[in-house]
Amino acid sequence: EVLLQQSGAELVRPGSSVKISCKASGYTFTDYYMHWVKQRPEQGLVWIGRINPANGNTVYAEKFKSKATLTADKSSNTAYMQLSSLTSEDTATYFCTLGAGRYFDYWGQGVMVTVSS
């Protein structure tokens, strides 16, 4: 069974950074891209980017190129997303997700990041 277990909720200060994790199990970690998606409260879904865990290659949505950094650790089957220079606009739930196709079969439970002083 494919499982994506994400780290816990974060409360962070404006201007700081946060790194959230997504531990994968139930499949070969390097076989599928890991994607990240943002969802602000009561709003829609926005694709942030994806990483190829096999070689670390990344693709980002234009608006997240300076905001998000995706990495992956093959030794622990864990993907990470670091968000920098946080503002209230970054308050959201962040999901890791993957699929065999370019749609998303499996989702983590989400990490709520709250940016507040």
Partner 1 sequence: DIQMTQSPASLSASLGETVTIECRASEDIYSNLAWYQQKPGNSPQLLIYDANSLADGVPSRFSGSGSGTQYSLKINSLQSEDVASYFCQQYNNYPPTFGAGTKLELK
Q: Which is nearer to partner 1, 75 or 103 (CB)?
A: 103
Residue 8 within binding range of partner 1, rule CB under 8 A: no
- Name the nearest CA neighbour of 47 among 113, 5, 105, 103: 103
- Name the nearest CA neighbour of 77 among 16, 39, 27, 20: 27
Residue 12 within binding range of partner 1, rule CB under 8 A: no
Q: Which is nearer to partner 1, 14 or 45 (CB)?
A: 45
The token pair that represents 109 in the structure block: 């439970």
Evaluate whether 10 touches 72 at the Cβ level (below 8 Å): no
Residue 95 within binding range of partner 1, rule CB under 8 A: yes
> What residues numbered 27-86 form the site for partner 1, per CB under 8 A?
35, 43-47, 59, 61-62
* Distance, CA of 44 to CA of 108 (rounded, Å): 17
How many chain residues are in contact with partner 1, going by CB under 8 A?
Answer: 21
Q: For binding to partner 1 (CB under 8 A), which residues are involved?
A: 35, 43-47, 59, 61-62, 95, 97, 99, 101-105, 107-110
